[in-house]
Amino acid sequence: MQWPTIPLAATCALLAWASAHLQAADDRPSPSPTRFSAEVGIGAEYDSNVSVDELDASSSESDYALTMDAKLRLQHQLNPITDLGFTYDFGQTLYEQFSELDRQTHMLGADVDVDLGKTNAGASFYYINSLLDYDAFLEFYRVSPSLSGFLAKKWFARGAYVYADKTIEDRSERDATSHAGEVDLYFFRRGLRSYFNVGYRYREEDANGAQYDNRAHSFKLRYVHRFEVMAKVVKMELAWRYEDRDYTSITPAIGEERADERQRWKLDVEVPVLQHGALQFYGGYGAYDSNYEPADYSQTVVGTRFLYRW
């Protein structure tokens, strides 16, 4: 199941900026202008329908997988109003039976944020290189300028334009560029301890093969809540995403224009353990409806992993 993760580092920086504006200033000394953070994780998951979303390929078979990931982030305050961030993310999924679908992903990112007072201007840049069975599979570039700010004390909004370019090895007809506009609205019920996020995105994708050209409307609803259990702050996230995707040319295999509707639900719970560690439990269900049979399926993923941050 593919969950959008590319803008995560930029989103974290955005929410940190928003959180700072929600809190009153104090007399603590200013933090270092350069900060480094890291995270490593290892876990296991069950996938009811092993698939490769980019190729509209699903096995209709279940499998277990070992997951490993690492994240590095460097943040630097260039001047009193400008922050720079650089990230490297690594992900590895190793299946028990479908080893030919073992996936390894490397992601490099950079973002810049400028505090303009009531608003925040930013831009993010990402490059992804994904391997399938350790062979070249996917290259992806993403550039996104954005503007954000508070509409009221607890209401925060963000708007962005996104340009993306993807290349799939040995599937040149699926190579594509896309343009998108997206809007997110946050309601901070209790700051970052409890907030809602609703979003909308419109995207147009132009592929080398006309049958893959499409337009898509996407909606999302997230709720993040942190609560205390035995003096530990537990984080819970509920998410729902919906996409209505219409293809603009005839798909030869079905003799008509393809139409997809995708819904995804996710529950994620993170429980702190040790001083810098956490156990994460997650589950998700995806319902993919399409008049193109290979893209018409459902999928359930459940898993757990141990995270260590410093």
pLDDT value for 191: 85
pLDDT value for 192: 86
- Domain assignment present for residue 1? The answer is no
What is the distance between the alpha carbons of residues 125 and 149, in angstroms, rounded to a whole number?
Answer: 21
**pLDDT class of 40 with cuts at 50, 70, 90:** very high
**DSSP result, 283-299:** EEEEEEEESSGGG-EEE
- Domain assignment present for residue 135? The answer is yes
Give yes or no for residue 2 having a pLDDT over 50. no
Question: Running DSSP on this structure, what letter comes out for residue 209?
Answer: S
**pLDDT class of 4 with cuts at 50, 70, 90:** very low
Report the percent of the chain where pLDDT is more than 90.
85
Give yes or no for residue 3 having a pLDDT over 70. no
Tokens 């410093």 sit on residue: 310
What pLDDT digit, counting tens, does each position of 234-248 carry? 999 999 999 999 999
pLDDT value for 230: 86
Domain of residue 237, residue span: 8-23+33-309
Question: Running DSSP on this structure, what letter comes out for residue 16?
Answer: H
pLDDT value for 24: 46
Report the percent of the chain where pLDDT is more than 70.
90
Give Cα separations from 230 to 90, 119, 272, 292, 305 (angstroms).
33, 38, 11, 50, 21
Task: Rounding to the nearest 10 degrees, give the CA dihedral for residues 200, 206, 210, 216.
Answer: 0
Average per-residue pLDDT for the chain:
92
Q: pTM for this one? A: 0.88
Buried b (16+ CB within 10 A) or exposed e, 93-130: bbbeebeebbbbbebebbbbbebeeeebbbbbebebeb
Count of CB atoms within 10 A of residue 142's CB? Answer: 20
- In this structure, are strands 57-58 and 51-52 parallel, antiparallel, or unpaired? antiparallel
- Domain assignment present for residue 2? The answer is no
What is the distance between the alpha carbons of residues 291 and 189, in angstroms, rounded to a whole number?
Answer: 41
Give yes or no for residue 25 having a pLDDT over 70. no
What pLDDT digit, counting tens, does each position of 132-160 carry? 999 999 999 999 999 999 999 999 999 99
pLDDT value for 10: 55
The total of structural domains in the chain comes to: 1
- Domain assignment present for residue 3? The answer is no
What pLDDT digit, counting tens, does each position of 255-287 carry? 999 999 999 999 999 999 988 999 999 999 999
- Domain CATH code at residue 79: 2.40.160.40
Give yes or no for residue 1 having a pLDDT over 80. no
What pLDDT digit, counting tens, does each position of 204-233 carry? 999 999 999 999 999 999 999 999 998 899
Tokens 């995403």 sit on residue: 241
- Nearest Cα neighbor of 113 from 20, 182, 176, 51 is 20
User: Which residues, including other chains, have CB under 8 Å from residue 102's CB and lie 6 or more apart?
Assistant: 92, 93, 94, 95, 132, 133, 134
- Higher pLDDT pick, 307 / 31: 307
pLDDT value for 32: 74
pLDDT value for 26: 45
User: Which residues, including other chains, have CB under 8 Å from residue 185's CB and lie 6 or more apart?
Assistant: 155, 156, 157, 197, 198, 199
- Domain assignment present for residue 28? The answer is no
pLDDT value for 254: 95
Give Cα separations from 58 to 1, 73, 175, 299 (angstroms).
11, 34, 20, 9
Give yes or no for residue 38 having a pLDDT over 90. yes
What is the distance between the alpha carbons of residues 122 and 198, in angstroms, rounded to a whole number?
Answer: 20
**pLDDT class of 15 with cuts at 50, 70, 90:** low
User: Which residues, including other chains, have CB under 8 Å from residue 24's CB and lie 6 or more apart?
Assistant: none
